[in-house]
């Protein structure tokens, strides 16, 4: 049996940020919520404060909130990985684990909401819904309820929801984004980069491809630090684009000569320049180290002066 490994991606961080900023008032979002004492975590836990619901004030996933109870576990599948076999079953197991440790907080399992967010409906998801003996009841465009579970289960299809909510476009399979959304996406990537190293997070390359396709490479690079622009590039290929003068510009003389053997340093000088400023003894040693024809040329010049 394949062992499940929880993996954070840049898409997960961005989606959590988007949901947190657009959730209706009174809903608290907790990212990577630990389900138990071990390492099992759920992408997001949503806890609604008691009192009047204000779901109509939501700015993201506007068709979702009215279907949720006071506590919700949300599992998000980004576009680089999508839905994989067994992940619906895993979400249901998360519900059981969560409910088992909080039975006093629920009168019925249906009070716990489980939400699966996917880029789009895929054959693998449809097969798993059927295999689990569940039915799928369409709600608003882009949302569906899974019928037959003891929990309240909602599936969100981002490709359809993003037609009305453009800020969710980055989390779909779209290769190009709305230009305003692309600017906001670049902003939150840079915001995340201030908190942690994002270069090794899954999804970065995919997101940058979308931004470049929308905004163009110059605009994207302008917002990246120098080390981020050069990350992953072959240094030799980068230097090949510059002339020798451009490569050396701004370097101190000792920096230009660092790593060169004495004979390599002399190779670029005219014979007369090699001897400038030498004491007589140094000059004699230097003369003996030069090719015979060069020695003769220098002796003639010295004799003449």
Q: Can you list the residues of the chain whose pLDDT is less than 50?
A: 1-4
Residue 116 CA to residue 87 CA, distance in Å, equals 9
Q: What confidence score (pLDDT) does residue 149 get? A: 93
Phi, psi of 82 (to 5 degrees): 65, -170
Both structure tokens of 34: 């630990």
User: What are φ and ψ of residue 254, in 5° steps?
Assistant: -70, -30
Integer CA distances (angstroms), 235 to 66, 132, 193, 230, 232, in order: 54, 53, 23, 8, 9
Location of structure tokens 């009192």: 51
Model pLDDT for residues 159-178, shown as the tens digit of each residue: 999 999 999 998 988 888 88
Predicted local distance difference test score (pLDDT) of residue 249: 73
Q: In this predicted structure, what is the pLDDT of residue 189?
A: 82
The gap from C-alpha 225 to its chain's centroid, in whole angstroms, comes to 15
Contact yes or no for 298/271 (Cβ under 8 A)? yes
In contact, 269 and 261? CB cutoff 8 Å: no
pLDDT digit string, tens, across residues 94-129:
999 999 888 899 999 999 999 999 999 999 999 999
Domains of the chain, by residue range, sit at 10-174, 236-304
CA distance 153 to 135: 11
């Amino acid at each position: 049996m394949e062992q499940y490994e929880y993996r954070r991606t840049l898409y997960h961080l961005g989606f959590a940020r988007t949901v947190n900023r657009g959730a209706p008032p009174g809903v608290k979002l907790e990212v990577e919520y630990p389900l138990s004492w071990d390492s099992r975590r759920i992408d997001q836990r949503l806890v609604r404060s008691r009192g009047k619901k204000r779901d109509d004030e939501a700015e993201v996933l506007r068709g979702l909130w009215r279907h949720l109870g006071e506590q919700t576990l949300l599992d998000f599948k980004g576009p680089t990985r999508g839905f994989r076999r067994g992940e619906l079953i895993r979400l249901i197991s998360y519900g059981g684990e969560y409910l088992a440790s909080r039975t006093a907080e629920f009168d019925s399992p249906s009070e716990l909401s489980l939400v699966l967010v996917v880029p789009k409906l895929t054959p693998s998801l449809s097969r798993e819904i059927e295999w689990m003996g569940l039915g799928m009841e369409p709600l608003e465009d882009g949302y569906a309820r899974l019928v037959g579970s003891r929990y309240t289960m909602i599936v969100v299809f981002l490709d359809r929801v993003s037609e009305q909510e453009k800020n969710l476009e980055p989390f779909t399979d779209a290769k190009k984004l709305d230009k305003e959304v692309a600017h906001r996406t670049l902003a939150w990537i840079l915001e995340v980069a201030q908190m942690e190293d994002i270069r090794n997070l899954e999804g970065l390359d995919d997101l940058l491809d979308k931004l470049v396709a929308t905004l163009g490479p110059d605009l994207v690079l302008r917002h990246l630090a120098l080390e981020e622009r050069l990350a992953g590039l072959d240094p030799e290929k980068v230097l090949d684009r510059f002339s020798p003068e451009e490569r050396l510009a701004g370097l101190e003389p000792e920096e230009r000569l660092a790593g060169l053997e004495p004979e390599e340093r002399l190779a670029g000088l005219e014979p007369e320049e090699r001897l400038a400023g030498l004491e007589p003894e140094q000059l004699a040693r230097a003369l003996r180290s030069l090719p015979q024809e060069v020695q003769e040329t220098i002796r003639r010049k010295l004799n003449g002066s």
